Amino acid sequence: MGPLIANGYIDPAWNNVIALLVGIAFGYILEASGFSSSRKLAGVFYGYDFVVLRVFMTAVMVAMVGLVYFNYMGWIDLSQIFILPTYMTSVIVGGVIMGLGFVMGGFCPGTSFTGVAVGKLDALFFSIGLYLGIFIFSLAFPWLEKIYYGGDLGPITLMESLGISRGLFTFLFVLATLGAFWVASMVKKRVKDIEI
Amino acid sequence: MNKTYFFLIVIVVLLGAGALFIPEERFTEELPPDQLFLKMNDPSRFVTTDQVARAIIDGDPNILIVDTRSADQYEAFNLPGSVNIPLEELIDSTGNIDERWEDYLGIEGMYIAFYSNGDVCADQAWVLCTRLGINDLFVMRGGLNRWVETILKPSPPEQTAPGEEFALYDFRKGASMYFGGGGAIEVEEQSAVPVTPVRKKKKQVISGGC
């Protein structure tokens, strides 16, 4: 049956409407999880708050298990799912820059907009910087093109590169996620709580 | 630990463990045998030669007429506007509809009428395609033998027959004129009419990301 748009169940004209609704829901969940606070977000780096880890890993875990079952039931065809191509160089370089920005600014792009929505000044400055960065990147793109498209691996998935089955990977991921939650709770116990 | 968390952890681990046993292949959409049996016994899967003739004469765009005989036989004689899908080549080695016919079969809103010389080949094609989950399939009852008897060489009804039969006979005489030049015993050879298939909407590649 699914993906609904690719198989013609929903007209592609609805793309933007659906994107808007999903975006609103995403923003709401971010705000409801407390992601509009830069202190809470930065907490994952200092070890006093792991809500970022918990929320995102839970989301990935639930989606992953759900997709495996949906695929089996024929409700969605995983071979038709768009998989973002992996560019190794830009993933590493971009990841480092994004991480630095995250720990310095206390926001990632999505959460900064949530922060702006609830009226956080630091989030406002962060998103101005974000657009400045996009602008500079666009101007510098001819020089950065090589890095940007470097290490092209195509739309590869972890289970393909590890050579294990989808089910096994899902199970290992669930265990790893729960393990990460446990480690996070251990770390949190040792670090002094701070006022958020 | 919070009781709720404990339950959630148990559920997620169980679901994850379940994923270990889920086969990679998709759940097949093949029609279960009991339902296939019911469908086979449903007489509405047959269409008469008159209905097919009317559809051809009217140029009904929703009906695709499929010749399940071999290519030689198709070359020798076929119904106008029909497509040749030989029964032997219908299914490929993987047990699915051969790629060549994918654009013809299973188009939404398209009715397919199979025919062969008799009922057998058309029936087999009907069963194979129905089992593979294709809907709106029909078999022209009696095949081309019946076609010749009723459409190309219609015989007049009894004098005492009801009016409907005379109306049907009138239609058949007209159809006979349309298809064979009027009661012609020798059937004219008809060349295969090129049919432009309605391309099924290709599955779009989704693009974009976060």
The model's pLDDT over B180-202, given as tens digits with 9 standing for 90+, comes to 765 544 444 555 666 676 666 65
State how far the alpha carbon of B187 is from the alpha carbons of A65, A91, B66, B76, B86, in Å: 63, 71, 20, 10, 22
Give dist(CA A2, CA B91) in Å, integer. 25
CATH label of the domain that carries residue B145:
3.40.250.10
**In-domain check, residue B47:** yes
Q: Which of B77, B78, B82, B50 is nearest to B64 (CA)?
A: B82
pTM over 0.80: no
ipTM above 0.95, yes or no: no
Q: Which of A62, A41, A64 is nearest to A52 (CA)?
A: A41
Work out the number of other CB atoms within 10 angstroms of the CB of residue B52. 24
**In-domain check, residue B190:** no
Number of compact structural domains in chain B:
1
pLDDT lower than 50: segments of chain A: none
Collapse the DSSP code of B206 into the 3-class scheme (helix H, G, I; strand E, B; otherwise coil) and give the result. coil
Is residue B159 very low, low, confident or very high in pLDDT (cuts 50, 70, 90)? confident
Give the tens place of pLDDT for each residue, A112-141: 999 999 999 999 999 999 999 999 999 999
**In-domain check, residue B27:** no
Q: Which helix (H) or strand (E) holds B140?
A: strand B137-140
Q: Which of A119, A120, A121, A126 is nearest to A104 (CA)?
A: A126
Determine which of B14, B203, B205, B207 to mutate to test the interface with A (most A C-beta atoms within 10 Å): B203
Residues facing B64 on adjacent strands: B112
Asked if A178's CB is within 8 angstroms of B209's CB, the reply is no
Min Cα distance A95 → chain B (Å) is 15
**In-domain check, residue B97:** yes
**In-domain check, residue B20:** no
Output Rg (C-alpha) for chain A, integer angstroms: 19
Residue B186: per-residue pLDDT: 46
Quick one: A174 exposed, middle or buried, by C-beta within 10 A (0-12, 13-18, 19+)? buried
**Cα–chain-centroid distance for residue B161?**
34
Pairing of strands B46-47, A86-87: unpaired
Looking at chain A, which residue has its C-alpha nearest residue B25?
Answer: A72
Residue A136: per-residue pLDDT: 94
| Structure letter (DSSP) for residue A47 | T
Looking at chain B, which residue has its C-alpha nearest residue A22?
Answer: B210
Which residues of B lie closer than 8 Å to A, measured between beta carbons?
Answer: 9, 12-13, 15-24, 26-27, 29, 201, 203-209
Min Cα distance B102 → chain A (Å) is 16
* Neighbouring residues of B21: CB distance < 8 A, sequence distance ≥ 6: A167
Structural contact between residues B201 and A9, judged by C-beta atoms closer than 8 angstroms: no
**In-domain check, residue B209:** no
Mean pLDDT of B35-52: 89
Of A74, A167, A170, the CB nearest to B27: A74
Asked if A170's CB is within 8 angstroms of B19's CB, the reply is yes
Domain containing B117 equals: 33-180
Residue B91 reports pLDDT greater than 90:
no
Asked if B20's CB is within 8 angstroms of A8's CB, the reply is no
**In-domain check, residue B72:** yes
Of A8, A68, A71, the CB nearest to B201: A8
Structural contact between residues A33 and A131, judged by C-beta atoms closer than 8 angstroms: no
**In-domain check, residue B12:** no
Looking at chain B, which residue has its C-alpha nearest residue A1?
Answer: B29
pLDDT averaged over every residue in chain B: 82
Asked if B203's CB is within 8 angstroms of A174's CB, the reply is no
| Structure letter (DSSP) for residue B114 | E
Residue B119: per-residue pLDDT: 87
Looking at chain B, which residue has its C-alpha nearest residue A182?
Answer: B1
Quick one: A65 exposed, middle or buried, by C-beta within 10 A (0-12, 13-18, 19+)? buried
Structural contact between residues A191 and A180, judged by C-beta atoms closer than 8 angstroms: no
Residue B170 reports pLDDT greater than 50:
yes
